[in-house]
Homo-oligomer: A and B are copies of this chain.
Amino acid sequence: MYGLHGKIQSVPGKRDELAAFLLKAVAAMRELDGCYVYAINTLPDEPDTLWIYEVWRSVDDHQASLNVEAVLEVIMAARPLIAGMSDRTEVNPLGGVGVPLTE
């Protein structure tokens, strides 16, 4: 399994608009076999930031998702709303609720 989390900063005041685009991409990601969790969160103290936690079956599944047309379309459309990305952290998911157990 492969996990990562990180922040996306929107241009000022556009966080909710950016979130709406990402939530659209979720519809496509739900169809992908290898995507277990893609959780979009806001943070109480950072009004222009989204924080995202993802769990994938493998690094390759995550990589492949970046080439899925429906996902790409949303990323391209959302691009003008993105001011930056930061705090990218890779983790190793062991299992849990909403996440399969590691074999």
| Contact count band on A | 20 to 34
Contacts A44-B90, A97-B29, A97-B30 hold; do A39 and B53 have CB atoms under 8 A apart? yes
A101 CA to B19 CA, complexed, in Å: 12
**The one of B53, B55, B101 that contacts A5, using a Cβ cutoff of 8 Å:** B53
Q: By the criterion CB–CB under 8 Å, are B97 and A42 in contact?
A: no
A40 at the interface (CB under 8 A from B): yes
Quickly give the copy total for this chain: 2
Q: Of residues A35, A37, A39, A52, which shows the largest number of chain B Cβ atoms within 10 Å of its Cβ? A: A39
Q: By the criterion CB–CB under 8 Å, are A23 and B101 in contact?
A: yes
Q: By the criterion CB–CB under 8 Å, are A94 and B53 in contact?
A: no
A95 CA to B51 CA, complexed, in Å: 12
Interface residues in chain A, defined as those with a beta carbon under 8 Å from any beta carbon in chain B: 3, 5, 19, 23, 26, 29-30, 35-44, 51-53, 55, 89-99, 101
